[in-house]
Amino acid sequence: MIDSRKAYIYLKGTNQNEIISVLNIYEEYSVKQIEENYLEITIIDEFNVNTLKKARDFIMVELFQDFTAFANPINFTFPIQEILDVLPNLNKGIYLIEDLIYELVKLNKIELIKRLRNYYYNHFSPETIETILGFIDQDLNATKTSKALYMHRNTLNYRLDNFIKKTEIDVRKFSGALAIYLLFRY
């Protein structure tokens, strides 16, 4: 069984019921309004950001409405209300966690960044975080990182894979590495 995940949408407009109807067309989505201007989507099947992008495109063309969405990583237990409070300040679009981190830094949301940083420190050992940051400092090069941290390459790869799987932030790619670098070095 695939774990379900949540996505949150911030809408500014009066077409909320029409948007809920459009999103409910997708069998893998269960949509409900949680607050004024906010929808919660429970994604029942495997999450594909492109499906949500297509739904957004359809809503923009047919209903002349756009929205800001955040796709919550699976097992992400950070208080969602803090993120919902930021959604109105973001440009319209769909944000994954690494995109959100970048935007928080850009908006200078220092307190939220600190809480998010503490969240990751509490969910991973300091050694894991330092390993990830060491990997980034070594230009995403596993061989250089292994030598610099006096660590077996298999141990490094295990920590990287574990971090990527649990956070859904791929630090082996530039965008993920940038997000983590900004989060912990900002």
Q: Write the pLDDT tens digit of every residue in 24-39.
A: 999 889 999 999 999 9
**What does the pLDDT read at residue 12?**
84
For residue 1, the model assigns a pLDDT of 42
pLDDT for res 41? 96
CATH 1.20.120.80 is held by the domain 5-95: no
For position 69, what pLDDT does the model report?
97
Query: What phi, psi does 39 have (nearest 5°)?
Result: -120, 150
Domain boundaries, the chain: 5-95, 114-185
Task: Give the strands of the sheet with 5-11, arranged side by side.
Answer: 29-35, 38-43, 5-11, 67-71, 93-95
CA 20 vs CA 88, 156, 171: distances in Å? 19, 44, 34
Q: Which two tokens stand for residue 55?
A: 């739904």
Q: Strand pairing partners for 103?
A: none
Pairing outcome for strands 5-11 and 38-43 = antiparallel
pTM: 0.91
Residue 160 gets which letter from DSSP?
H
> Distance (Å, rounded) from C-alpha 61 to C-alpha 58?
5
Per-residue pLDDT, 3: 62
Residue in 130, 127, 141 with CA at minimum distance from that of residue 172: 141
Specify whether the CB–CB gap between 151 and 131 falls below 8 A. Answer: yes
**Sites in the chain below the pLDDT cut of 50:** 1
Q: How far apart are CA 118 and CA 133, in angstroms?
A: 15
Q: What is the pLDDT of residue 78?
A: 96
